[in-house]
Amino acid sequence: MRSPETTSWHCASWQAKPAQQQPVYDDPIALQRVVAELSRLPPIVVSWEVEALRERLAAAQRGQAFLLQGGDCAETFGDCESDTIVKKLKILLQMSLVLLHGLKKPIIRVGRMAGQYAKPRSVDTETRDGVTLPSFRGDLVNHPEFTAAARAADPDLLLRGYERAALTLNFARALVDGGFADLHHPEYWDLGFIKHAELKDAYQRIIQSIGDALDFFEGISGSAVHEATQVDFYASHEGLHLLYEQAQTRFIPRQNRWYNLSTHMPWIGMRTAKLEGAHVEYFRGIANPIGVKVGTAMDAAWLQGLVTTLNPQNQPGRLTLIHRFGAKDIATALPKAIEAVRETGQTVLWICDPMHGNTETSTGGLKTRRFENILKELDTAFRLHAQMGSYLGGVHIELTGDDVTECTGGARGLTDADLQRAYRSTVDPRLNHEQALELAMLIAERSQSRRYG
């Protein structure tokens, strides 16, 4: 049954509303041709998987599971190569193992990948030496080089993005389904990179302990623990480019609902979450579990409007609020947000993005984030949710499986000066593999010591 609110909805109804952050294309006919082609191409995911994820998120909402959502700020088409995909999958699997061990709950793994190709920008243009060109909006839209040709929005990139997303997810899923993610064989995920001795030892102890637990249960039950050891993997990206999302949105008669089948779990970014805007209009009509980024600028009325508009039926698992207040503001902003949502009488899944409120400029002029601030925001989030009788059901992290130097701090104590060495992000700074694993360990340790209540 569809609610009365969504009966006037269709996958292009957002076009009647103001749409922020959309590129301007010079050739509308070429754009329409591409959108028509994308609408005919097969979906990247299917509605059964989307429904399965929603049910798992509903469990997280009840405090019975924990969501690990992570990946690059912006994927590039160049990232669509086996080594990069394997490394990203490995770090997510390692983190999830550590979290499983520490939190003693099933971990839902959702990559920020296979479609994270479009970026919101704070300004539409960029000026260098008196020349003004459109901003780079991600590989789905244009190219980063500073020339007029590179910065022109190219509709064909929508097709290239769809293909790369499909190739990436196909490979990730084949690895997972083929046994790569089996908890009996965490050695498959060894990145060979964890050089920091203490981190390595701590990780080995966790692997050993999970191995012992599996042996124990399989010993007494006489059969393999399949349920717990078979790992699912889901994809997510910011649903920013609405024509791209619309083209992959299909009405599924069997479910009697519309689904965005470009990914399992799209989210609305901070800059496009206006109640009257096109993104909220588009998202309210799709049946996927969806996320919304929540920042300090969102007051109670705005947040309540989002909750009731996006989930009028209060369906469990439907709405994930991804708060990203920053270590500095979370203590004042989060209690108000929890209270505001509580007043609606609705339940949501709360997760914390400790990255986007903690971005700063390093002494060398590079965008960075301090590990200590990331950890502090997470600590505060766990503590405040517990104090208020709420539940922090997941984390949303920008990370990479590579050995980059983009965020400072962590066990290795990276400084501003180290950032020059391997700074590769074209957008936001990501945790490198060691920092990401360390963060998972610290969350796990702190939960075990009941520091989070």
Segment lying near Co ion (by CB under 5 A), choices 73-81, 183-191, 248-256, 320-328: 73-81
Residue 348 interacts with ligand PEP (CB under 6 A)? no
To the nearest whole angstrom, how small is the minimum distance from the Cβ of residue 406 to ligand PEP? 13
Task: Report CA 433 to chain centroid distance, whole Å.
Answer: 17
Q: Scan for tokens 């293909």, then name that residue.
A: 163
Residue 356 interacts with ligand PEP (CB under 6 A)? yes
Task: Rank residues 75 and 428 by Cβ distance to Co ion and give the closer one.
Answer: 428
Is 208:187 a contact under the CB 8 Å cutoff? no
- CA triple 282-285-286, angle to 5 deg: 95
Site string for ligand PEP, 147-186 (x = CB under 6 A): ----------------------------------------
Question: Which residue number is nearest to ligand PEP in terms of Cβ?
Answer: 269
Residue 312 interacts with ligand PEP (CB under 6 A)? no
Token code pair at residue 141:
């839209």
Task: Rank residues 79 and 238 by Cβ distance to ligand PEP and give the closer one.
Answer: 238
CA-closest candidate to residue 88, choices 68, 107, 113: 113
Residue 250 interacts with ligand PEP (CB under 6 A)? no
Tell me which residues in 411-440 interact with ligand PEP (CB under 6 A).
428
CA-closest candidate to residue 281, choices 256, 317, 249: 249
Q: At what angle do helices 197-221 and 433-448 cross, to 10 degrees?
A: 60
To the nearest whole angstrom, how small is the minimum distance from the Cβ of residue 19 to ligand PEP? 16
Q: What are the beta bridge partners of residue 294?
A: 323
User: From CA 73, how far away is CA 87, in angstroms rounded?
Assistant: 16
| Phi and psi torsions of 432, nearest 5° | -80, 175
Residue 279 interacts with ligand PEP (CB under 6 A)? no
User: From CA 292, how far away is CA 246, in angstroms rounded?
Assistant: 18
Task: Rank residues 245 and 428 by Cβ distance to Co ion and give the closer one.
Answer: 428
Residue 73 interacts with Co ion (CB under 5 A)? yes
Task: Rank residues 246 and 408 by Cβ distance to Co ion and give the closer one.
Answer: 408
Residue 324 interacts with ligand PEP (CB under 6 A)? yes
Is 73:398 a contact under the CB 8 Å cutoff? yes
Q: Scan for tokens 């709360």, then name that residue.
A: 350
**Binding partner of 274, given ligand PEP, Co ion, none, CB within 5-8 angstroms per partner class:** none
Q: Scan for tokens 């929508």, then name that residue.
A: 158
Tell me which residues in 417-446 interact with Co ion (CB under 5 A).
428
Segment lying near ligand PEP (by CB under 6 A), choices 102-110, 146-154, 267-275, 382-390: 267-275
Taking CB under 6 A as the criterion, the residue among 120, 144, 312, 335 binding ligand PEP is: 120
User: From CA 137, how far away is CA 119, in angstroms rounded?
Assistant: 5
Identify the H or E element spanning 125: strand 125-128
Point out which residues bind Co ion (CB under 5 A).
73, 428
Point out which residues bind ligand PEP (CB under 6 A).
73, 120, 238, 269-271, 293, 324, 356, 428
